[in-house]
């Protein structure tokens, strides 16, 4: 007497037979027939033809039969909308049934029938059920609102169901509250506006917290998830909420635990990190996370992906729990790989010995993927914990000795990184590596090996032979290997030019003539030209010192991490991508961690500024000012024409940028070397014979915002005056791992009222590893505030990652205006008028100009010579200039022929500009 008998009917005319059975008078027969119909349905047979007959069975007081018919209806109503109307009456009647079970069942089933005509009839019963006296019916009705919203959202809004649903949040029964929360969050999720339907107030939060203790485990998940969207008003509220949530960490249901962890991690941001409460909370978080790792593998996997985030955000929580992440032999592979990742994140000086011996064991495992990752992990260990590098290298050497092909290849790839991190330390092992040259067949391993040979060509006696052997099959190599081989041979040539000329010519011709790969050809040409024009420059470029590789290249970017912390326990935390990146049609409300209650005053900025005074000084008021500025919206009207880039410098910069990225590749580093940017631009200038010295003096670009302070964005720039307009020339280099977009710029109030004249135009999105130039026209009409020193300009640059602040100095000469020529008499009168104590004297040393060239040079920079006298063999020059803010400066220069020192006397009504003007003179005359 089991149900399997329903599957066994295979006779012909099955449908017909069922039909007659369904119309049988006997209840028992009917029920059997419906069961058979359902059985066929579950296995995917089409029994929709029986629709009218099945619906006829609906009018019954037998609950099981009713349920079965409902199951059938849910499946087939969509395909037979007209027939489904027949069922409406019964539904409406059932909604009035004295039995709450039947009322609830009816409203539940009606919601599942996705037919527009039926939903019209659903409204009235649903309204009644939402106010039903029985909580079971109310909680079922709450879910039904979400179903209805899915089918017809405008109807739900028009009929006021949302308000009724919100009222249920204050229901006396916790189960009803939980379901209302769940329904609301689902509606939120699918609503097109994306804005939250319910404003979370402290009152609602309080109600939710009360319901949290009494509702079912699933309800707890819903409530915790919606609590995570709430931002407490102050520290005290955050702390008390945390206290009430903490008991959830001991729940048996892993979903509840992880949701609780999410809320705690988020609210902890608001609390001062040194408080006792945070310390005790940190202690409480560890054990439940560890316990998650002893449940089913699927739970472990999700937990590990989340722990990966938690460890990056708050390494303290699990720093003593390294051992629980040791791999068990019977873990599924996906769990093993995740554990390995976390082991590396937790590795520190204290536990590195243990980690290494574990990793070494893993490297002898069976699973190839796992072994590879383990070998890679050893390399990462070496890079992360300097003290362990020695042991890691010897471990890797041991592994190479095993001669297992993929282990050797993987080891060579990581040894390359270790060489990068610790140059000139472990080169003694190169000979061992060379022994394995022939076994390498994977491109990455080959490229790494070639890099090592090229880099240490001077220490490997037979480097030329080794590289030559690779060159034989050049055409068949992967492009990665080809590029590397080209660079390595050029390196070799530069180091040992005497006997490798033939080799380098061979590789250059292979690269430039026989290859279809544009990257390879371009790189070949660049090398060729460099070598043929200026080998010294080539040496400087190719053998330039490489920037050290960062130990944490695999970390998530901080902003992404913060966003993901808000999504702990969700799919986003498993993918490590924000939901907007993978959930379809999701309106992009991005969650962010609440700022600490004491933002600014103890933020990151202040600590950074102590380290480098170039980055904004730690003044509360100042940061306040910057923060209050409207960074997002362009405050100035966009200029129709793009800023013209007239000559020289811009064109050169363009090339400089291009070469920069190219060099980035050639040195096979993950991030392009920043140190090269300036020198390479100058070099190219030489190579292409561009006029290096342009008429107007332009200060070389200086780095204003180094990448490590700019969350991966490196900004360098200078100020230029072109055609009577002040420009800020900027180079943005993206050294992060993600493309950057949405650039905007704002200045703080400054001494000269400088403000952007048009929005920032910069290539967007800016791909990783690429540098882009931008020229920002400036106006001097902005608000004025005196800065110290006078020429300081505080800048805020915003992109999709963060808002970055830095300060730079405006060279005074960029502020000299074109109409700075004073009438002779006025000059004389003014000179006399200005009191003597306003006169400042400087000596400009080491000037290689005669009086005439000084005049012409200064003229090009808007400093005008009013008169010239010769007194006692000395040339006296009287010059005037005007600043953008209308301040006149009068100068007297004493030039003695043969003496490289010039005396400069300055007079101005505002003597504090004198220092800047002197600097300008100094720069122009030496430029």
Q: Give 566-578 as a 3 state SS string.
A: CCCCCHHHHHCCC
- Coil, helix or strand at residue 808: strand
Residue with tokens 């024009």: 533
CA distance 487 to 523: 9
- Looking at the Cβ atoms of 60 and 619, the one nearer to another protein is 60
- Looking at the Cβ atoms of 150 and 534, the one nearer to another protein is 150
Q: Pull the structure tokens for residue 753.
A: 């009222």
Taking the CA atoms of the chain, what radius of gyration do you get in angstroms? 37
- Do 623 and 803 contact (CB within 8 A), yes or no? no
- Looking at the Cβ atoms of 258 and 671, the one nearer to another protein is 258
Tell me the closest approach of the beta carbon of residue 349 to another protein, in angstroms.
Answer: 19
The residues near 368 (Cβ < 8 Å, ≥ 6 apart) are 406
- Looking at the Cβ atoms of 115 and 494, the one nearer to another protein is 115
Tell me the closest approach of the beta carbon of residue 154 to another protein, in angstroms.
Answer: 19
Query: In degrees, to the nearest 5, what angle opens at C-alpha 456 toward C-alphas 453 and 460?
Result: 75
Tell me the closest approach of the beta carbon of residue 176 to another protein, in angstroms.
Answer: 9
Tell me the closest approach of the beta carbon of residue 488 to another protein, in angstroms.
Answer: 30
DSSP state of 280: H
Query: In sequence order, what E strands does 708-754 have?
Result: 713-722, 725-734, 744-747
- Looking at the Cβ atoms of 35 and 166, the one nearer to another protein is 35
- Looking at the Cβ atoms of 195 and 424, the one nearer to another protein is 195
CA distance 386 to 365: 26
- Looking at the Cβ atoms of 591 and 868, the one nearer to another protein is 591
What angle, rounded to 10 degrees, do the helices at 235-245 and 254-268 form? 160
Tell me the closest approach of the beta carbon of residue 216 to another protein, in angstroms.
Answer: 6
Tell me the closest approach of the beta carbon of residue 291 to another protein, in angstroms.
Answer: 5
Beta bridge partners of 776: 728
Tell me the closest approach of the beta carbon of residue 298 to another protein, in angstroms.
Answer: 4
Residue 725, phi then psi, degrees to nearest 5: -125, 140
The residues near 545 (Cβ < 8 Å, ≥ 6 apart) are 673, 675
Q: Give 297-345 as a 3 state SS string.
A: HHHHHHHHHHHHHHHHHCCCCCCCCHHHHCCCCCCCHHHHHHHHHHHHH
- Looking at the Cβ atoms of 254 and 616, the one nearer to another protein is 254
- Do 87 and 76 contact (CB within 8 A), yes or no? no
CA distance 614 to 626: 16
- Looking at the Cβ atoms of 79 and 469, the one nearer to another protein is 79
Tell me the closest approach of the beta carbon of residue 122 to another protein, in angstroms.
Answer: 14
- Looking at the Cβ atoms of 583 and 662, the one nearer to another protein is 583
**Residue 28 half-sphere exposure toward CB, CA atoms < 13 A:** 0
- 873 Rama class: left (phi>0) / alpha (psi -120 to 50) / beta: left
Tell me the closest approach of the beta carbon of residue 541 to another protein, in angstroms.
Answer: 44
Tell me the closest approach of the beta carbon of residue 189 to another protein, in angstroms.
Answer: 5
- Looking at the Cβ atoms of 72 and 752, the one nearer to another protein is 72
- Residue 332 burial by Cβ neighbours in a 10 Å radius (0-12, 13-18, 19+): exposed
CA distance 769 to 712: 10
- Looking at the Cβ atoms of 402 and 843, the one nearer to another protein is 402
Tell me the closest approach of the beta carbon of residue 35 to another protein, in angstroms.
Answer: 5
- Looking at the Cβ atoms of 144 and 385, the one nearer to another protein is 144
Residue with tokens 């009207």: 637
CA distance 234 to 288: 27
Tell me the closest approach of the beta carbon of residue 124 to another protein, in angstroms.
Answer: 20
- Coil, helix or strand at residue 615: coil
Nearest to 485 by CA among 507, 462, 505: 507
H or E element, residue 902:
strand 902-908
Tell me the closest approach of the beta carbon of residue 177 to another protein, in angstroms.
Answer: 12
CA distance 562 to 823: 62
- Looking at the Cβ atoms of 64 and 545, the one nearer to another protein is 64
Tell me the closest approach of the beta carbon of residue 3 to another protein, in angstroms.
Answer: 5
CA distance 628 to 208: 35
- Looking at the Cβ atoms of 327 and 796, the one nearer to another protein is 327
CA distance 80 to 86: 11
- Looking at the Cβ atoms of 186 and 522, the one nearer to another protein is 186
CA distance 573 to 305: 7
DSSP state of 369: H
- Looking at the Cβ atoms of 521 and 586, the one nearer to another protein is 586
Tell me the closest approach of the beta carbon of residue 367 to another protein, in angstroms.
Answer: 8
CA distance 27 to 330: 53
What angle, rounded to 10 degrees, do the helices at 276-292 and 297-313 form? 150
CA distance 386 to 552: 13
- Coil, helix or strand at residue 472: coil
- Looking at the Cβ atoms of 146 and 511, the one nearer to another protein is 146
**Residue 534 half-sphere exposure toward CB, CA atoms < 13 A:** 15
Beta bridge partners of 904: 842, 893
- 461 Rama class: left (phi>0) / alpha (psi -120 to 50) / beta: alpha
């Amino acid at each position: 007497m089991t149900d399997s008998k329903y599957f066994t009917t295979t006779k012909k005319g099955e449908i017909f037979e069922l039909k007659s059975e369904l119309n049988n008078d006997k209840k028992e027969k009917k029920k059997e027939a419906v069961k058979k119909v359902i059985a066929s349905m579950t296995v995917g047979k089409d029994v929709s033809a029986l629709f009218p007959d099945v619906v006829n069975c609906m009018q019954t007081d037998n609950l099981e039969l009713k349920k079965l018919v409902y199951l059938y209806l849910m499946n087939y109503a969509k395909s037979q909308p007209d027939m489904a109307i027949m069922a409406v009456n019964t539904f409406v009647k059932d909604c009035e049934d004295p039995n709450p079970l039947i009322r609830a069942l009816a409203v539940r089933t009606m919601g599942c029938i996705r037919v527009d005509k039926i939903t019209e009839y659903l409204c009235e019963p649903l309204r009644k059920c939402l106010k039903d006296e029985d909580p079971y019916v109310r909680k079922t009705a709450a879910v039904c609102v979400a179903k209805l919203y899915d089918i017809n959202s405008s109807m739900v809004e028009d009929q006021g169901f949302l308000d009724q649903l919100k009222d249920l949040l204050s229901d006396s029964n916790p189960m009803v509250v939980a379901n209302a929360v769940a329904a609301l969050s689902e509606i939120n999720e699918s609503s097109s506006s994306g804005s939250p339907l319910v404003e979370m107030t402290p009152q609602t939060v309080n109600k939710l917290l009360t319901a949290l203790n009494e509702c079912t485990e699933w309800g707890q998940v819903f409530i915790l998830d919606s609590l995570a969207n709430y931002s407490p008003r102050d520290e005290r509220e955050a702390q008390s909420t945390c206290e009430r949530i903490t008991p959830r960490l001991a729940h048996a249901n892993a979903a509840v635990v992880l949701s609780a962890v999410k809320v705690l991690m988020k609210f902890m941001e608001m609390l001062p990190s040194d408080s006792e409460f945070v310390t005790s909370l940190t202690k409480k978080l560890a054990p439940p996370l560890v316990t998650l790792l002893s449940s089913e593998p699927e739970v472990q996997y999700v937990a590990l992906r989340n722990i990966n985030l938690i460890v990056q955000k708050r390494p303290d929580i699990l720093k003593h729990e390294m051992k629980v992440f040791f791999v068990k032999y019977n873990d599924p592979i996906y769990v093993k790989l995740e554990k390995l990742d976390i082991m590396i994140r937790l590795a520190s000086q204290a536990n590195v010995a243990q980690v290494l011996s574990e990793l070494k064991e893993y490297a002898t495992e069976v699973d190839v993927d796992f072994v590879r990752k383990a070998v890679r992990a050893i390399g990462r260990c070496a890079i992360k914990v300097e003290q362990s590098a020695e042991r890691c290298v010897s471990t890797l050497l041991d592994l190479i000795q095993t001669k297992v092909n993929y282990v050797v290849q993987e080891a060579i790839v990581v040894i390359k990184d270790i060489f990068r991190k610790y140059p000139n330390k472990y080169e003694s092992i190169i000979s061992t590596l060379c022994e394995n040259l022939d076994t390498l067949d994977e491109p990455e391993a080959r490229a790494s090996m070639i890099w090592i040979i090229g880099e240490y060509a001077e220490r490997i006696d037979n480097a030329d032979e080794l590289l030559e052997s690779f060159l034989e099959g050049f055409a068949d190599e992967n492009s990665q290997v080809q590029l590397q081989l080209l660079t390595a041979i050029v390196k070799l040539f530069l180091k040992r030019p005497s006997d490798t000329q033939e080799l380098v010519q061979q590789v250059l011709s292979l690269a430039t003539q026989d290859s279809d790969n544009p990257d390879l050809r371009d790189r070949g040409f660049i090398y060729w030209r460099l070598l043929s024009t200026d080998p010294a420059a080539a040496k400087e470029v190719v053998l330039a010192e490489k920037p050290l590789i960062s130990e944490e290249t695999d970390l998530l970017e901080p902003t992404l991490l913060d966003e993901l912390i808000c999504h702990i326990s969700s799919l986003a935390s498993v993918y490590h991508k924000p939901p907007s990146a993978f959930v379809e049609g999701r309106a992009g409300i991005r969650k962010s961690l609440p700022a600490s209650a004491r933002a600014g005053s103890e933020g990151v900025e202040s600590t950074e500024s102590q380290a480098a005074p170039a980055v904004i000084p730690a003044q509360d008021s100042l940061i306040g000012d910057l923060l209050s500025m409207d960074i997002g919206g362009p405050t100035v009207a966009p200029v129709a024409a793009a800023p013209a880039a007239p000559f020289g410098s811009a064109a050169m910069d363009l090339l400089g940028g291009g070469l920069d990225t190219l060099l980035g590749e050639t040195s096979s580093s993950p991030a392009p070397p920043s140190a090269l940017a300036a020198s390479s631009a100058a070099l190219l200038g030489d190579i292409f014979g561009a006029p290096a010295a342009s008429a107007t003096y332009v200060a070389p670009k200086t780095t204003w915002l180094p990448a490590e302070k700019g969350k991966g964005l490196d900004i360098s720039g200078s100020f230029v005056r072109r055609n009577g307009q002040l420009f800020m020339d900027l180079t943005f280099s993206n050294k992060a791992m993600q493309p950057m977009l949405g650039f905007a710029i704002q200045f703080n109030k400054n001494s000269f009222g400088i403000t952007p004249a048009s929005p920032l135009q910069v290539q967007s999105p800016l791909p990783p590893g690429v540098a882009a130039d931008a020229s920002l026209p400036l106006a001097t009409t902005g608000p004025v505030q005196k800065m110290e020193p006078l020429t300081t300009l505080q800048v805020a640059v915003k992109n999709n990652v963060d808002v970055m602040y830095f300060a730079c100095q405006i060279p005074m000469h960029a502020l000299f205006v074109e109409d700075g020529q004073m009438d002779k008499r006025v000059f004389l009168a003014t000179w006399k008028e200005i009191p003597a104590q306003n006169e400042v004297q400087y000596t400009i040393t080491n000037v290689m100009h005669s009086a005439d060239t000084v005049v012409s040079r200064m003229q090009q920079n808007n400093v005008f010579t009013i008169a010239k006298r010769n007194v006692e063999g000395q040339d006296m020059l009287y010059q005037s200039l005007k600043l953008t803010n209308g301040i006149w400066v009068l100068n007297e220069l004493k030039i003695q022929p043969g003496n490289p020192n010039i005396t400069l006397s300055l007079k101005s009504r505002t003597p504090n500009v004198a220092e800047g003007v002197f600097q300008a003179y100094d720069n122009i005359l030496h430029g």
